[in-house]
Amino acid sequence: MSKHHVVIVGAGFGGLAAARGLRRDDVRVTIIDKQNHHLFQPLLYQVATAGLSPAEIAAPIRTIVKDHGNTSVLLDEVCGVDVATRRVRLASGATVEYDSLILATGARHSYFGNDAWEAHAPGIKTLDDAVRVRRSILIAMERAETLRQENIGERMDFLTFVVIGGGPTGVEMAGAISELTRHAAEMDFRHITPKCLRIVLIEAGPRLLATFPEALGEAAQQSLEQLGVEVRLNSRVEQISAGSVTVSGNMLRAATIVWAAGVQASRAAAWLGVTGDRAGRVAVDPDMSVPGCPGVYAVGDTASIARADGRPVPGIAPAAKQQGGYVASVVAARIAGAAPPPPFRYRDHGNLATIGRKRAVADFGRVRLSGFPAWLLWSTSHIYFLVGFRSRVTVGLHWLWSYLTFERGARLITGLADMPDSIAVPQQRAA
Amino acid sequence: MSKHHVVIVGAGFGGLAAARGLRRDDVRVTIIDKQNHHLFQPLLYQVATAGLSPAEIAAPIRTIVKDHGNTSVLLDEVCGVDVATRRVRLASGATVEYDSLILATGARHSYFGNDAWEAHAPGIKTLDDAVRVRRSILIAMERAETLRQENIGERMDFLTFVVIGGGPTGVEMAGAISELTRHAAEMDFRHITPKCLRIVLIEAGPRLLATFPEALGEAAQQSLEQLGVEVRLNSRVEQISAGSVTVSGNMLRAATIVWAAGVQASRAAAWLGVTGDRAGRVAVDPDMSVPGCPGVYAVGDTASIARADGRPVPGIAPAAKQQGGYVASVVAARIAGAAPPPPFRYRDHGNLATIGRKRAVADFGRVRLSGFPAWLLWSTSHIYFLVGFRSRVTVGLHWLWSYLTFERGARLITGLADMPDSIAVPQQRAA
C-alpha cells in the first residue's frame, strides 16, 4: 500500500507550518501553490511603498522545503475538490488524489460586492499587487512634477493619495506613503514640496485599529497626523471610479487610491460545497477539520474558528502558523492510530502595527507600547520572523541603511506598458 | 535672455555622463527618459538568471542627479525632433525647446528583419525583458518537474535552453543559465537531474567573442563546455517559432529561447531625418555632433564613430561614458566662447566577459586573463563601477553570499498572468 498522501494547498504561513510539522512523519506531502514563492505578507506594504524589493520578502517554496525529504511542490492552481473521491482538480487539467487535504489558501481583498472598484483602487495581497501600487504612486509624482500652474487642479489630483481602511494594513500604508512622498518631494523633485501633498486615510468605523485596545488606536491616529495624514473616521465609501472616491456624499479626487478595507477568503468553501461565513471562511471543528468532508482541514484565513472567550481567532500570520502546526499533529496522530491532540487553542503573542519609520503600536495584553520603543520591537521581531529566508541579513542591513540615510532603493517603475487604470496620463505642456 | 538649455534624451551611461559633465556650468539641463531609472545594463543578465533583483542594478534618475542644481528630469517618451525649430516632440503631446540636444538613446535588440521572432525569443535590454526571461526559465523547470515519463519529449523541451548569439551577452547568459538550472536541479527539484538539462549556445560566426582576441574566445568556449554548454559555431538561425528554432537546416525544440545576437540603435536617426548605418546608428563628426543638425550630438549606442586605426568605437558602457563627458566639454566650450576641445578619442581600458560564477576572460591589450583571476577582476570592477548606486554595498554582499552559499535570492516568478508565448503550458497528468 502506498503511503498516506497529505495534500497542502497554499504555501503561506499556515501551509508551510503544516508541511514542516509533517516533515519527519511517514507520509508523502504535496504542496500545491499557484505561485512559486512563499510571501512574507506582513511586509508587502513596504514593497508597495518602495522600501523593500520583491525578492527581499519572498523565497521560492522549493528552497524552503528542500530539506523535507517527503515533500513535493507543484506549481498549479486548484479549481475544485471532489470530496467523495478525495481528489483535487487543477487548472492544468490534472487531478491529485489525497488522503488528507489541508486548505491554507489565504484571502484576497474584498470590495463588498463592488468588484468594479478594484480597477480604480487596487488592494495589496500579492507581489504583483504591491508592484502595481508602487508604480502608481511613483508615476503620480512624476506627472505632478511636469504639470504647471495652469493645471493646478489636475496637479493636486496626482498629489492626493487615498487609503481606504483603518486596520493595520491601511495604517501602515498611509504612514509609509506619507514618508515616501514627503521624502521624495524634499530630495528628488524640483517642483513638489511636502506642503503640496495630501494623504487621506478613510475608515468607516469610529476609530483606527479596531482589533487593538482603544488607547493604541488613538496613539496610531496621533502618529499619523504628525506625519501629515488626514484621518477621516466614520466615513463610508459610497463610490469609486477612475481618479475619484465618494465618501459620505463628498467626492474626493485622487490619482492613487489604495484599498485596505476588507478581505475575503479564497474559494475553498465553494470547492467543498459548504457555506462560508460572511468573509467566505469555512467553519471548522475544534480539530480544524471541515464537518462533512472527511480528511479535509482548513487553516489560517481559510478557516473560521472561535477562541475560548468567543472572539474569533484573528487572521494574522502567527495564528495561521499555529493552526498549520496543529493540523500536522492531528494528521500524524490519526496515521499513528494515537489519541487525537486536544482541541486547537490560539496562543495570543500580541499584536503589532507600524506607522512610518520610527513609530509603531504594540499590544501584549497587559503591556502596551507605542512610539519608538514599539517600532524597535516591531522591526527586530519582523527581521527575526523572516525565518527560512536567506534575505534576513539583507533586510536587516537594508533597513538599517534606510533608517540611517533615508534612501529608498526600490523606487523603480517597472512594467510601464500596462499602466494602472487609476492613472490617467494628462496632456502635458512644457516650455 | 534665458539660459542655454541642454536637453539630454536617455539616462544611460552616456546621458548621465553628459549631465554630470555640465552640472557646474551655467546652463539648464533637462534629462528625458521613458523609464524613471538608470539601469546598470552590464548586469542585466544576472537579473534574467535570478542572481540579482531588479532594484540591485537600477537607481532612480532623480536620485542620481539630485545634487545637480541645474538639472530637471522628465519621465516621457521622445517621438520626434524638429531640427529646424530646435524642438523635441514627446509622446504626451508636449514639446521641449533646446539649444543643444544630446541623443543618448541606446539600442534595442535587432532581429535582422524577422521581428516576429521576438515573441518566441526575447532579448534582454530592459528590466522588464530580464524579468520576463527569468520567469520563462523558472516556469520551464516547474513544468518539467511535473511531467512524467510518458511525456519525455515534452519534458526535454522544457529542459532545453537555447541562447542565440556568441558575443559577451550570449556567453554570459549561457554560463549563467547553466549554473542556475544545474544548481536548481541539484537542490530544489526532485525529478530533474543536471543530466536532464541541455543548454545550447548558437553563434553564426566561426568563434565566440568576436571582439576579443582569438585565444580568449577559445578560453570562453572551453569554460562554457566545462559548464555543460553545447557551443555551436558557424550556425545560422533560419527560423524561430513558438518552442523551436531552426539552425542550419535542423530544428531544435526548446521552451526557452533567448536572443542575444544583435542590436539596433534607437530611432534617433529617423527623428533627425538622417540615414543611419547598418545598425541604425547616426554617423557623427569628430566632435560627436550630427552633420546637418546644428546643436545636435549623439553618444553611445546611438552614435557611429571610428577610432584612429579605423576600427569602430565599441558599443559598451565605458565608451558611452567617455562620449557623454566629451560632449559636455564641447557644449561648455561653445557656450563660454572658448576653443573647442580636440576631437573625441576613445581610451580603451580593456574588455571583460564573465562565464558562470568563477570564470571570466579579460583583454587589456598586452595583458590577457582568463579563468578565476579574470573573474575576480570582473566582479571587483563591476562592484566598483556601480558608482552612484546606493546598492553597491548590497550587490557586493549579495555576491559574496551567493558565492559562499550558492543560494539565489531572486528566483521569483512574478506576473504569472502574462506568461510568455514561448511557454506553452502542457496538460498534466498527475497521480
pLDDT range class, residue B424, cuts 50, 70, 90: very low
Average pLDDT over residues B13-39: 94
Average pLDDT over residues A171-187: 90
How many C-beta neighbours within 10 Å does residue A72 have? 18
Tell me: the pLDDT tens digits for A181-199?
Answer: 998 888 888 888 888 999 9
Q: Quick one: pLDDT at residue B394?
A: 54
Q: Check whether residue B279 and residue B216 sit in a common domain.
A: no
Helix (H/G/I), strand (E/B), else coil: B185: helix
Q: A80 has which bridge partners?
A: A89
pLDDT at A393 over 80: no
Select the more confidently predicted residue: A367 or B298.
B298
Residue A105 buriedness (CB in 10 A; 0-12 / 13-18 / 19+):
buried
Q: Least CB-CB distance to B412: which of A54, A142, A398?
A: A54
Mean pLDDT is highest, among B78-82, B138-142, B215-219, for B78-82
Is residue B41 a part of any domain in this protein? no
Q: Check whether residue B200 and residue B156 sit in a common domain.
A: yes
Backbone φ and ψ for B303, nearest 5 degrees, come out as: -110, 150
Kindly determine whether residue A187 and residue B90, on different chains, have CB atoms separated by under 8 Å. no
Tracing cell 542590436 back to the chain, one arrives at: B263
Q: What is the DSSP string of B67-90?
A: T-TTEEEEE--EEEEETTTTEEEE
Q: How many domains, chain A?
A: 2
Residue A312 buriedness (CB in 10 A; 0-12 / 13-18 / 19+):
middle
pLDDT range class, residue B149, cuts 50, 70, 90: low
Closest CA to B356 of B165, B226, B192, B210: B226
- For residue A295, CA distances in Å to A83, A85, A234, A274, A298 come to 9, 11, 44, 15, 10
Which chain B residues contact residue A143 at CB under 8 A? 75
Tell me: the pLDDT tens digits for A49-66?
Answer: 888 778 778 888 888 888
Q: Check whether residue B296 and residue B325 sit in a common domain.
A: yes
Average pLDDT over residues B400-417: 55
Average pLDDT over residues B173-202: 90
Is residue B39 a part of any domain in this protein? no
Average pLDDT over residues A168-174: 94
pLDDT range class, residue B413, cuts 50, 70, 90: low
Q: Check whether residue B160 and residue B244 sit in a common domain.
A: yes
Q: What is the CATH number of the domain that holds A158?
A: 3.50.50.100
Q: Does A59 touch chain B (CB under 8 A)?
A: yes
Q: Check whether residue B204 and residue B191 sit in a common domain.
A: yes
Q: Check whether residue A130 and residue A99 sit in a common domain.
A: no
Q: What is the CATH number of the domain that holds B285?
A: 3.50.50.60
Q: Check whether residue B241 and residue B375 sit in a common domain.
A: yes
How many C-beta neighbours within 10 Å does residue B33 have? 23
How many C-beta neighbours within 10 Å does residue A278 have? 9
Q: Does A87 touch chain B (CB under 8 A)?
A: no
Q: Does B89 touch chain A (CB under 8 A)?
A: no
Q: Least CB-CB distance to B413: which of A35, A138, A427?
A: A35
Q: Return the DSSP state at B410.
A: T
Catalogue the active-site residues of A.
Answer: 172
pLDDT at B423 over 60: no
Average pLDDT over residues A264-292: 93
Is residue B410 a part of any domain in this protein? no
Backbone φ and ψ for A162, nearest 5 degrees, come out as: -110, 130
Q: Quick one: pLDDT at residue A336?
A: 92
Q: Does B176 touch chain A (CB under 8 A)?
A: no
Q: Least CB-CB distance to B187: which of A66, A401, A428?
A: A66
Q: Quick one: pLDDT at residue B205?
A: 95
pLDDT at B400 over 60: no
Tell me: the pLDDT tens digits for A280-312?
Answer: 999 999 999 999 999 999 999 999 999 988 888
Cα B294 from chain centroid?
Answer: 30
Is residue A291 a part of any domain in this protein? yes
- For residue A372, CA distances in Å to A133, A305, A356, B60, B346 come to 27, 34, 10, 30, 55
Q: Check whether residue A164 and residue A298 sit in a common domain.
A: no
Given a contact cutoff of 8 angstroms between Cβ atoms, the answer to whether A144 and A155 are in contact is yes
pLDDT at B274 over 50: yes
Q: Which cell goes with A115? A: 468588484
Q: Check whether residue A148 and residue A214 sit in a common domain.
A: yes
pLDDT range class, residue A74, cuts 50, 70, 90: very high
Q: Quick one: pLDDT at residue A273?
A: 93
Tracing cell 540579482 back to the chain, one arrives at: B52
- Return d(Cα A328, Cα A19) in angstroms, integer: 7
Given a contact cutoff of 8 angstroms between Cβ atoms, the answer to whether B346 and B308 are in contact is no
- For residue B289, give its domain range: 5-34+76-109+263-336
Q: Quick one: pLDDT at residue B336?
A: 93
Average pLDDT over residues B252-277: 92
Average pLDDT over residues A8-23: 96
Q: Which cell goes with A215? A: 488607547
Q: What percent of chain B has pLDDT over 90?
A: 54
- Mean pLDDT of all residues belonging to chain B: 86
pLDDT range class, residue B50, cuts 50, 70, 90: confident
Select the more confidently predicted residue: A363 or A322.
A322
Q: Quick one: pLDDT at residue A409?
A: 52
| Residue B417, min C-alpha distance to chain A (Å) | 10
Q: Quick one: pLDDT at residue B419?
A: 35
pLDDT at A379 over 80: no
What is the identity of the amino acid at B348?
A: D
Given a contact cutoff of 8 angstroms between Cβ atoms, the answer to whether A62 and B146 are in contact is no
Interface A:B, Cβ pairs < 8 A: 166
Q: B369 has which bridge partners?
A: B362
Residue B113 buriedness (CB in 10 A; 0-12 / 13-18 / 19+):
exposed
pLDDT at A72 over 90: yes
Which member of B172, B186, B225, B238 is catalytic?
A: B172
Average pLDDT over residues B264-289: 93
Q: Quick one: pLDDT at residue A414?
A: 62
Q: What is the DSSP string of A83-118?
A: TTTTEEEETTS-EEE-SEEEE---EEE--TT-GGGG
Q: Quick one: pLDDT at residue A156?
A: 92
Tell me: the pLDDT tens digits for B101-143?
Answer: 999 999 988 898 899 999 999 999 988 899 889 989 999 998 8
Helix (H/G/I), strand (E/B), else coil: A337: coil
- Give the up-direction half-sphere exposure of residue B107: CA atoms within 13 A in the CB hemisphere: 29
Which chain A residues contact residue B127 at CB under 8 A? 412, 414
Mean pLDDT is highest, among A384-393, B55-64, B283-292, for B283-292
pLDDT at A429 over 80: no
Q: Quick one: pLDDT at residue B399?
A: 56
pLDDT at B216 over 80: yes
Is residue B63 a part of any domain in this protein? no
Select the more confidently predicted residue: B42 or B164.
B164
Q: Check whether residue A267 and residue A222 sit in a common domain.
A: no
Is residue A355 a part of any domain in this protein? yes
Q: Quick one: pLDDT at residue A225?
A: 95
Q: Quick one: pLDDT at residue A413?
A: 67
Q: Quick one: pLDDT at residue B422?
A: 29
Kindly determine whether residue B36 and residue A138, on different chains, have CB atoms separated by under 8 Å. yes
- Mean pLDDT of all residues belonging to chain A: 86
pLDDT range class, residue B185, cuts 50, 70, 90: confident
- Give the up-direction half-sphere exposure of residue A178: CA atoms within 13 A in the CB hemisphere: 25
Is residue B413 a part of any domain in this protein? no
Is residue B417 a part of any domain in this protein? no
Q: Check whether residue A169 and residue A99 sit in a common domain.
A: no
Select the more confidently predicted residue: A149 or B424.
A149
pLDDT range class, residue A201, cuts 50, 70, 90: very high
pLDDT at B284 over 90: yes
pLDDT at B73 over 90: yes
Q: Quick one: pLDDT at residue B183?
A: 86
Task: Find the helix or strand (DSSP H, E) in which A199 lies.
Answer: strand A198-202
Q: Does B55 touch chain A (CB under 8 A)?
A: yes
The residue among A28, A46, A52, A53 with the most chain B CBs within 10 A of its CB, best to mutate, is: A53
pLDDT at A249 over 50: yes
Q: Quick one: pLDDT at residue B57?
A: 80
Q: Check whether residue A310 and residue A369 sit in a common domain.
A: no
